[in-house]
Amino acid sequence: MEVSGWGRFPKTTAEIIEPVDSASLKKIVLAQNKSDSLICRGAGRSYGDSSLSSRMLSSRFLDSFLALDEKAQTIRCGAGVSLDAILKLCIPRGLFLKVVPGTRFVTVGGAIAADVHGKNHHQDGSFCDYVQNFSLMLASGEIVICSEEENSELFHATCAGMGLTGVIVDATIALEKLSSASIRQHSLVANNLKECFELLEANNGSKYSVAWLDCLSRGDELGRSLLFLGEHDEENESRAKLKYRSRGGPGIPFSTPAFLLNRFTMAIFNNSYFNLEKRSKQESIVDYDSYFFPLDNIGNWNRLYGSKGFLQYQFVIPTDAAFEGISKVLSKVSAAGKGSFLSVLKKFGKQNKNLLSFPREGYTLTLDFKREEKIFPLLNELDEIVLNHGGRLYLAKDARMSEAMFKAGYPEWERFLQVKNRVDPSSMFSSLQSNRLGLS
């Protein structure tokens, strides 16, 4: 069948295999022709080709809850369990995930494989910082337990390893206690990128922070933005505040014509959104789902970019070079008139010990571009800016990065390959992305 990532580019024809438990998973792995490619796939929410291969192992049925320890604040579950399912179980019990990405529909296995981050990385790090251990099936069919203390090297290669070391079967994750799932949101207006950086620095103590940028603005307004700070609303504690929410908004029933997305329509949207939010209340209480997962309320929102799909481009640049590098990227994008509705700036804290983890201390910017031939030369130019400022691209969003760009941005790639070659000497676990980047 034809499959793709969330960006709907690239597409490939693949055989989808759906093991129902670890025993059937082992039979599949042992029967695999070592010369063929195999990769695990969760909910298909990575954007590019990191979970695409000729044969794909779906974690769809590895979705059991195995243990919930409310006292220790931990949960153990199968790799196919979605973060949404965890929240549904945990929020009424006053528990919450310590890190959530921009969608609740990713699986636990996918969250570990990409070491996803959220709006609180500057304070709390990334998802794998709260993974206590996981069971990993190797190419040999053996299941090993990995943690900071046990098989530590393999743990740090698998966290953010994009499924290339084996198949995550289940995991134990630390949770946090809270008395309200509502978020006390504070919004601030930045008239340009310099003001946005200053506001992010001044509000570094806020638990959650994210800025929306108008990437088509120019001149003195380059990088004008809206900063959204957030804290759990602990001031108004009540059981009513501990409600799981699953609001479904309007869905996109078909791919919209690509020509509707152009500089003119995006400028109208960006101007309208900026001015509307600028006039709205600075402080408000919002539901957790609207703060963390605003796009989840729009079904199949990826169809907005047309049938050819889109590319999400996310990079991080170290703190000392971030303002200059991001200014150059925004200037290039604005001049090309290829901006996006979804341009998000966040601050990262210290990087962890995972060999291929994306976050590092600095600033990260995310941009969406509809797929068209003209966009690829522009992205190559952006690559050069990012690389010249010591940055790197996010593997979970990537669909076209060069091997040279990857290896320059991820200095631990050789150590990763050493671990992978030890546990998967024939490189059975590989993807379109890993082949392109020289990891398989």
Query: Which residue type is seen at 110?
Result: G
Residue 247 vs residue 219, higher pLDDT: 219
How high is the pLDDT of residue 244?
87
Alpha carbons 153 and 402: distance in angstroms, whole number: 26
Residue 372, SS3 per DSSP = coil
**At 414, is the pLDDT very low, low, confident or very high (cuts 50, 70, 90)?**
very high
How high is the pLDDT of residue 239?
45
The full DSSP string for 210-255 is: EEEE-TT--GGGTT-EEEEEEEE-GGG--GGG---------B--SP
Alpha carbons 147 and 168: distance in angstroms, whole number: 12
Alpha carbons 371 and 310: distance in angstroms, whole number: 5
**At 204, is the pLDDT very low, low, confident or very high (cuts 50, 70, 90)?**
very high
Question: What pairs with residue 213 in β-bridges?
Answer: 225
Q: Is the pLDDT of residue 371 over 70?
A: yes
Residues 6+ apart with CB under 8 A from 268: none
How high is the pLDDT of residue 257?
73
How high is the pLDDT of residue 119?
98
The distance from CA 212 to its chain's CA centroid, rounded to whole angstroms, is: 16
Residues 114-149 pLDDT 10s: 999 999 999 999 999 999 999 999 999 999 999 999
Residue 217 vs residue 274, higher pLDDT: 217
The distance from CA 228 to its chain's CA centroid, rounded to whole angstroms, is: 19
- For the chain, give the mean pLDDT: 93
Mean pLDDT of 24-39: 91
Residues 345-367 pLDDT 10s: 999 999 999 999 999 999 999 99
Cα distance between the two ends of the chain: 23
* Sign of the C-alpha dihedral computed for residues 11, 162, 318 and 403 taken in this order: negative
Alpha carbons 363 and 330: distance in angstroms, whole number: 14
Alpha carbons 166 and 109: distance in angstroms, whole number: 11
Q: Is the pLDDT of residue 338 over 60?
A: yes
Beta-carbon count within 10 A of 336 CB: 17
Alpha carbons 30 and 110: distance in angstroms, whole number: 22
Strands in 86-177 per DSSP E: 95-97, 131-137, 143-146, 167-177
How high is the pLDDT of residue 347?
98
Residues 6+ apart with CB under 8 A from 4: 10, 11, 12, 44, 52, 309
CA dist 440 → 118, 348, 403 (Å): 29, 29, 12
Residues 258-308 pLDDT 10s: 666 677 677 767 767 777 676 676 899 999 999 999 989 888 888 888 899
The two structure tokens encoding residue 209:
């922070």
**At 96, is the pLDDT very low, low, confident or very high (cuts 50, 70, 90)?**
very high
Residues 147-181 pLDDT 10s: 999 999 999 999 999 999 999 999 999 999 998 88
Alpha carbons 121 and 9: distance in angstroms, whole number: 28
How high is the pLDDT of residue 254?
67
Strand order in the sheet with 38-41: 15-17, 55-58, 38-41
Determine contact, residues 227/203, Cβ cutoff 8 Å: yes
Residues 181-192 pLDDT 10s: 899 999 999 999
CA dist 352 → 127, 130, 159 (Å): 11, 11, 10
Alpha carbons 255 and 172: distance in angstroms, whole number: 38
